[in-house]
Amino acid sequence: MSSALTSDGVDIDIRDDGLDLDWAFWDAQLDALDALRSGEHDLIVFRAGYGSGKSILGSRWIHQTALEVPKSDNLVMAQDTAKGGPTTYKVFFEELPGRDTVPDEGGDPENSPIVEDYNRNERRLTYINGAVARLGSADKWNRYAGAEFNAIWCDEVAHYSNTDLYKLNRMLLSRQRTAQGPNVALWTSTGNGFNQFYDFVERQVDPDGEPLTTRVHNVVADSRDNPFLPEKDKLRRQFEGTAAEEQGLAGGFAAAEGRVYDRFSRERHVVTADAIADRIVDDWRMYAYDAGWDDPRVLLEIGKTHRDQYIVLAEYYHSGAHVGDPDKVRDPERDPDPGTALAWLTSRPKGEMFCEHAPADIDKFRRAGWEARKAEKDIDGGIDAVRERLELDEDGRPGVLVVDECINTIQEFLGYQEDEVGKNGAEDHAMDALRYAVFTNTVRSDDGAGSGSFARSF
């Protein structure tokens, strides 16, 4: 059995019969294939607009790798099984040679001359040379931690909304240590706002803002350059000249539409710590707390400038984390539990803390010496208060700034959608915390409360 990927197609000799697969590729896809074969990268990202052939590229690469490496184990990963069925999985089956190969449309993958067996319950396809392709989903990625994979293709990664991409990448790459190779992963996706996908593939930094150790290679493709794309003019009419053109066509990034805080931008509101170091009021801090377990537990350290701008200086943003033991914090002879919220707070200036209504947590913060209190939690009023702070004054100064190391806060600002407000599963944990602090201070200022409050006056 032999095969070769070229711009003209793929010829695969199966047993004694020759089969000509009509697999033509355009330039950007070929660039991605060259990178996948180079052995110089851990992860290839094919980032492109709609209709650029992302899923076709991934499907063909998995089929090709399986045929080249007998008894190999390969993984296809969609967002989840429900969304993967009519998108990622469908294209994967469609790209098999043969007719009626899509099971959800009444076909059978075993109709393909390169398929020996398809186990629908386990979503496992076996090729005629013993190679396997498993159809997985990002919402349950931990189930693949015990396997080893020759090739991994993850589709529409920017839309893995409930998956930590850093943990996913770490697990999957650790599973690529096979003798035969190619031991490389392919991610295909459009952008999806300035979310974690953006930080990973474009900024290429870890959650702490440090450079990634993963060797990432980006191939960026514009749908308008795809010679195989039908109805190209229709896509142009839909996206050209709109805010979504860069993301929908050019393979770039654009802020998500329908955002709660659509005035927030990296250019106006994100600063470096060095740039604002001499503008911070040293003896003023407030903290904002949003409880969580399956969701992240969040603490924001917020300072202010001499012009009364709020600055999110640091964030504690961890899932599965504890508040910690206040007795250990108050005892100089004992070290606070590492990784807990109280341990994070120990080296920070004291300040008032505005908390979600979690009495046990508030009690722990108070016992540890923090001035913790229940926050004003009105959603509409809180969002309005933050929006007002995001506006610019006549000199172009915003009322809220965020230090660039607070990547989760920035991601939430850029991704938090109107239709997510008040709903379970929303990525709004830092936004909730910030809302508690800003709104509580706004209400207190309006009421003429004590010296701990201040009104906005740039």
Q: What pLDDT digit, counting tens, does each position of 202-249 carry?
A: 989 887 778 999 999 999 999 999 999 988 888 898 888 887 888 899
Query: What's the pLDDT at 181?
Result: 94
pLDDT in tens, 77-101: 999 888 888 999 999 999 999 999 9
Split at pLDDT 50, 70, 90, the class of 6 is: very low
Query: What's the pLDDT at 14?
Result: 52
Query: What's the pLDDT at 115?
Result: 97
User: Residue 25: is its pLDDT beyond 70?
Assistant: yes
The residue type at 138: A
Q: How far is the C-alpha of 32 from the C-alpha of 78, rounded, in Å?
A: 19
User: Residue 306: is its pLDDT beyond 50?
Assistant: yes
Round the CA-based radius of gyration of the chain to a whole number and report it: 26
pLDDT in tens, 407-429: 889 989 988 888 888 887 778 99
Q: Is the peptide bond before 211 cis (omega within 30 degrees of 0)?
A: no
The residue type at 418: E
Split at pLDDT 50, 70, 90, the class of 293 is: low
Q: How far is the C-alpha of 344 from the C-alpha of 371, rounded, in Å?
A: 16
Split at pLDDT 50, 70, 90, the class of 447 is: low
Q: Which residue has the higher pLDDT, 200 or 14?
A: 200
Split at pLDDT 50, 70, 90, the class of 296 is: confident
User: Residue 450: is its pLDDT beyond 50?
Assistant: no
pTM of the complete model: 0.68
Q: 141, 77 in Cβ contact below 8 A?
A: yes
Among residues 256, 69, 21, the alpha carbon closest in space to that of 178 is found at: 69
Q: Which residue has the higher pLDDT, 194 or 371?
A: 371
Average pLDDT over residues 442-448: 67
Query: What's the pLDDT at 54?
Result: 97
Average pLDDT over residues 9-17: 49
Query: What's the pLDDT at 266?
Result: 85
pLDDT in tens, 351-404: 999 999 999 999 999 999 999 999 999 999 999 999 999 999 888 899 999 999
Tell me, what DSSP letter sits at residue 398?
B
Query: What's the pLDDT at 93?
Result: 97
Instruction: Give the whole-number percent of the chain exceeding pLDDT 70.
Output: 91
- Tokens found for residue 149: 């994979």
Please state, in angstroms and as integers, the Cα–Cα distance from residue 116 to each residue in 11, 119, 151, 299, following that order: 19, 10, 19, 54
Q: How far is the C-alpha of 317 from the C-alpha of 92, rounded, in Å?
A: 37
**The domain defined by 10-248 carries CATH number 3.90.440.10:** no
Q: Which residue has the higher pLDDT, 19 or 36?
A: 36
Average pLDDT over residues 447-453: 44
Residue range 266-446, CATH number? 3.30.420.280
Average pLDDT over residues 321-325: 90
Q: Could you tell me where the beta strands, DSSP code E, fall in 305-414?
A: 310-318, 352-355, 371-374, 400-403
Please tell me the least confidently modeled range out of 131-140, 283-292, 342-351, 447-456.
447-456
pLDDT in tens, 61-76: 999 999 999 999 999 9
Split at pLDDT 50, 70, 90, the class of 446 is: low
pLDDT in tens, 106-148: 999 999 999 999 999 999 999 999 999 999 999 888 888 888 9
Domain ranges in the chain are: 10-248, 266-446
Average pLDDT over residues 443-455: 51
Q: Per residue in 235-246, is it b (16+ CB within 10 Å) or e — as a string?
A: beeebeeeebbb
User: Residue 456: is its pLDDT beyond 50?
Assistant: no
User: Residue 289: is its pLDDT beyond 70?
Assistant: yes
User: Residue 178: is its pLDDT beyond 70?
Assistant: yes
Query: What's the pLDDT at 452?
Result: 40
Q: How far is the C-alpha of 116 from the C-alpha of 105, rounded, in Å?
A: 20
Q: Which residue has the higher pLDDT, 271 or 447?
A: 271
User: Residue 455: is its pLDDT beyond 50?
Assistant: no
Split at pLDDT 50, 70, 90, the class of 162 is: confident
Q: How far is the C-alpha of 93 from the C-alpha of 78, rounded, in Å?
A: 14
